[in-house]
Structure 1
Amino acid sequence: MRKVVRWAAIIAVGGFLFGFDTGVISGALLFISDEFGLNAAQQGSIVSVLLIGAMVGALSAGRIADRFGRRWTIVGESVLFMIGTLIAVLAPGYWVLLLARVVLGLAVGAASATVPVYLSEISPAEIRGRILTMNQLLITVGIVVSYLVDLGFSGSGSWRSMFAVGVIPAAVLCLGALFVLPESPAWLLTHGRPEQARDIVTRVAGPELTEKLVQRYRERQREQQHTEQKQRPGMRALLAPAVRPALIVGLAMAAIQQFGGINTIIYFAPTIIEQTGLNASNAILYSVFIGVINLVMTVVSIGAVDRFGRRPLLIMSLLGMMITVTLLGLTFIFASNPKLSLVFMVLYIAAFAGGLGPVFWVLVGEIFPPHLRASGSSAATTVNWLSNFVVSQAFLPLANALGQGQTFLIFGVICLVGLLFVTRFVPETKDRNYDQIDDSLRERFTSTHHTGPRPGRAVGSPG
């Protein structure tokens, strides 16, 4: 188990980079705008172009990881992080910095799709939830660190130094992937390298369980040869009737996680706080506080996800988000106590970070067939980034047209829809192998969808 935890800690540095590179711009932009003389549209593009790059990176990552392996894909992503960071640090003007943000977006999106797959495939079932939540934990740590780095360099105004710090975790990830991480046993088995896969699984699960896993894989590989899955690689295979329930759950949860409104708080916290009537002049300091709340509740969820299960955390999280974001909206509409608005904002973040935030990434690594896990994760992550982009672009115009309070009420309705979706269609995946998860998915969709014959499946992870 110690080896799995060590491997997981290294690969989760990809999650840290995800958080760092999405968060560092919040403070850096204050000084970039002054140096380059950016107008409002250019400032917005510096922020949002990373989300566009992330969509492309997430969409491409599954095919690359299936072809070249999880480990070498991660090496490539870490190099991309370093290249993007160096371009940003040396950028002489707006257009080069925009290019740097695109490159960083590609790396962020690819890592967000690859890391959950790898973590799922190396983790025994009994600790899989905790291992997968390490990704979300490191994302939140990355966000907090980026805010602290911004705060540390804010006195000198050195935005280039803010970006430069990102080279360090990127180098750690690259060296770790090259010299410490093994290849995913599921990928090795799928690509005809059973001896290498057996060696890796034996180091985690012992020789007896290893033989059972390899035998199960060979049986499923023979089954797969008789299904259309074998002739329909990558994204097309996700549309097959037998895989469709997992795809629906993955894409729906990706959209719900973002359309519930979380990034309107993360990205626009200073603007929202200013609307309450309190002083928001120190925007970076407010961001640090919000990041810390996000981090603390993510730590809480790590202990809860394998103890209480995925569904209870999702249900409680969405219920809490629905109530708190609705109350937040009402405080704006009825001009209530500004401090009360801040309380509901913090409680909303806590509800998200304690459930929907990390559990989405856990589900992405569990619900898809092992031979389609990279493609499924890529599709869900792409929708997640697309939803992120849509919400972040639409929030301020919508708030200006309808009112900020009314906009938060819309998020409350979306949280309610998400709650209903989870109770009806999302299965419990705690302590279950893929066969059991698939059976539960098919049962939940039986009354509304014809899911077709069970697909052949490869062994995904020890346990």
Structure 2
Amino acid sequence: MFSGHSKAQWTVVVNAWVVGGMLGALLVGKVSDRVGRKRALMYNCGFIIAGAVIQAAVSDIWAFAFGRFLAGIASGASTGCVGTYVNEIAPPHLRSKLGIGLQGGINLGIVLVDTTHFYLGFHDGWRIIAGFPIVLAGIFLVCGQFIMVESPVWLMLHGHRKEAEKVLVQLYGEENVTTALSWIKPKKEPVDVEKQEPCWSEVGHETVIKGKGLTWAELFAVEMRRPLVVGMGLACMQKLTGINSIFYYSSSLFGGVGVADGRVCNIIVAIVNLVPTLCSGMVAARFGNRPMILFSTVGMCLSSIGITLSLAYDAPKATVALAAAFVFSFAICLGPIMFVVVAAVVPDHARGSVVSIGIFVAWAANLVVGIGYPYLATALETYKYVPFAVISGLSTIFVYYLVPETSNLTTVEIQEVFRKIRGNGRF
């Protein structure tokens, strides 16, 4: 792409996207609280287009890195806002099924990009791939303007009840508006001061209306501590359990079974990741989010141990099979459902801020794995998956003791679960 660049320069180029993702995820919560979920995603198209134009047009490596940084901001903002938006427009019983659309779209994009490398392998063919997001952003701007609605929860939090009811009519039909409102509006019980904290009111919620996000006092208030820990923990474990080590270095695992072309390795891993993701929503709706996350973490832990043993005993076919099991375990729940649960455990008025922080943590963990894994692999050699086995095991303990079931529950019901936990003397 850019002849004569150093390894350090290329490291900056690669990680500029991740750093941009961290920034985009961190800022989108306040922006979406201020202007709305729909408008925030529309504005984000500006970063998509700018990043794509720069990457496709420039011939300087530092300008290309800046384009990747802008594209990263767009990616971070999307991952930080889409989960919130889907949570707020979907009925409780469909949140798991609809929520997997974010990760499913990401995985489908990976498959398409990896596939196009076969057809655009000519000189400067990569510029077509780099510029294609311009088309996607254009389609989103045109179609989204007519198809998307504003989040009814955001409208209610800003005191726009009539507009929210119109949106609910569009989403669920006029005969179901009362039921849909019950998913948003909590029942007020004056005997309990804590439950009087409004997720919704006739005039809106001050935290959302001011558009500045939660204050530090609000963020670490008693009722927010467990949702914050759960959200950050799930976001962190999604990356630190090691899934990107498979994506980034699949060719080293597949080389032992005769697959020399790195592009083929990438496509195989991407497809193994995509198919379970598309089924994960139905599986989680059937068995519950919490049990399936436990299935994911246990599966990744056992697969990591298996990969370590297969590498130690030089069994390349077993290594490939276990790597596929590792990816399957991730894709069947932890990958896509993380976005669903992080958005679900947070009260309506705090969702924009807390989801933003959680997704920022996920991007930061992605950066840690991306930079640290090559050094880890060099130092530990055949035992390079031992840390991921340990982290997956710790993640299982974390989920078992701290993460509640959220499937088929409204926001109010989930907060009631947290309230009962606090009432039993736990944080």
- With normalisation by structure 1, the TM-score equals 0.84
What residue is the counterpart of 2:263 in the other structure? 284
Contact 2:285 2:407 survives alignment (8 Å): yes
Q: Please give the per-residue CA displacement for 1:361-407, whole angstroms capped at 9, x wherever unaligned.
A: 1102211101111111101000000001001110011111122x322
1:191 positional shift: 1.4
Contact 2:45 2:137 survives alignment (8 Å): yes
What residue is the counterpart of 1:318 in the other structure? 297
What residue is the counterpart of 1:370 in the other structure? 348
* Stretch deviating more after TM superposition (165-174 or 428-437): 165-174
| Percent sequence identity over aligned pairs | 27
What residue is the counterpart of 2:166 in the other structure? 199
Are residues 259 and 446 of structure 1, via their aligned partners in 2, closer, same or farther at CA, if it must alter by over 3 Å? farther
In 2, Cα distance between the equivalents of 1:190 and 1:143?
Answer: 36
Q: Please give the per-residue CA displacement for 1:101-134, whole angstroms capped at 9, x wherever unaligned.
A: 0000000000000000111111011211101111
AA partner of residue 435 (structure 1): V
Give SS of 1:36's match.
Answer: coil
In 1, Cα distance between the equivalents of 2:132 and 2:3?
Answer: 21
Q: Report matched runs for 1:18-417 at 5 Å.
A: 32=1, 35-156=2-123, 158-207=125-174, 209-211=176-178, 214=181, 217=185, 223-224=197-198, 230=206, 234-236=213-215, 237-274=218-255, 277-279=256-258, 281-335=260-314, 337-403=315-381, 405-417=382-394
Give SS of 2:93's match.
Answer: helix
In 2, Cα distance between the equivalents of 1:226 and 1:77?
Answer: 27
Give SS of 2:249's match.
Answer: helix
1:414 positional shift: 0.6
Contact 1:318 1:351 survives alignment (8 Å): yes
1:272 positional shift: 3.8
Give SS of 1:365's match.
Answer: helix
Q: Say what the alpha-carbon RMSD is for the aligned residues.
A: 2.3
Contact 1:245 1:445 survives alignment (8 Å): no
Contact 2:20 2:71 survives alignment (8 Å): yes
What residue is the counterpart of 2:191 in the other structure? none
Q: Please give the per-residue CA displacement for 1:330-385, whole angstroms capped at 9, x wherever unaligned.
A: 222232x2111111111110110011111101102211101111111101000000
Contact 1:57 1:106 survives alignment (8 Å): yes
In 1, Cα distance between the equivalents of 2:400 and 2:245?
Answer: 25
AA partner of residue 185 (structure 2): Y
Are residues 87 and 448 of structure 1, via their aligned partners in 2, closer, same or farther at CA, if it must alter by over 3 Å? farther
Give SS of 1:38's match.
Answer: coil
Instruction: Structure 2: state its 5+ residue gaps.
Output: 189-194
1:225 positional shift: 9.7
In 2, Cα distance between the equivalents of 1:121 and 1:348?
Answer: 32
AA partner of residue 325 (structure 2): L
Give SS of 2:385's match.
Answer: helix
1:156 positional shift: 4.6
* Stretch deviating more after TM superposition (54-63 or 431-440): 431-440
Are residues 200 and 314 of structure 1, via their aligned partners in 2, closer, same or farther at CA, if it must alter by over 3 Å? same
Are residues 302 and 222 of structure 1, via their aligned partners in 2, closer, same or farther at CA, if it must alter by over 3 Å? closer
Contact 2:185 2:200 survives alignment (8 Å): no
What residue is the counterpart of 2:410 in the other structure? 433
Instruction: Structure 1: state its 5+ residue gaps.
Output: 1-31, 451-463
In 1, Cα distance between the equivalents of 2:41 and 2:166?
Answer: 21
Give SS of 1:151's match.
Answer: coil
1:235 positional shift: 3.6
1:51 positional shift: 0.6
In 1, Cα distance between the equivalents of 2:153 and 2:103?
Answer: 23
- With normalisation by structure 2, the TM-score equals 0.91
AA partner of residue 114 (structure 1): C
AA partner of residue 43 (structure 1): W
Q: Please give the per-residue CA displacement for 1:298-345, whole angstroms capped at 9, x wherever unaligned.
A: 11212212121101211111111111111101222232x211111111
* Stretch deviating more after TM superposition (288-297 or 201-210): 201-210
Are residues 112 and 225 of structure 1, via their aligned partners in 2, closer, same or farther at CA, if it must alter by over 3 Å? closer
1:425 positional shift: 1.1
In 1, Cα distance between the equivalents of 2:200 and 2:139?
Answer: 43
In 1, Cα distance between the equivalents of 2:415 and 2:118?
Answer: 47
In 2, Cα distance between the equivalents of 1:292 and 1:134?
Answer: 16
Contact 2:307 2:322 survives alignment (8 Å): yes
Q: Please give the per-residue CA displacement for 1:268-309, whole angstroms capped at 9, x wherever unaligned.
A: 2123434xx344541111101110110111112122121211
1:226 positional shift: 12
* Stretch deviating more after TM superposition (256-265 or 430-439): 430-439
Contact 1:36 1:94 survives alignment (8 Å): no
Give SS of 1:153's match.
Answer: coil
AA partner of residue 413 (structure 2): Q
In 1, Cα distance between the equivalents of 2:232 and 2:68?
Answer: 26
AA partner of residue 242 (structure 1): E
1:213 positional shift: 5.2
Q: Please give the per-residue CA displacement for 1:174-228, whole angstroms capped at 9, x wherever unaligned.
A: 222222211111111111211111011122334454246558638669743999x
Contact 1:254 1:383 survives alignment (8 Å): yes
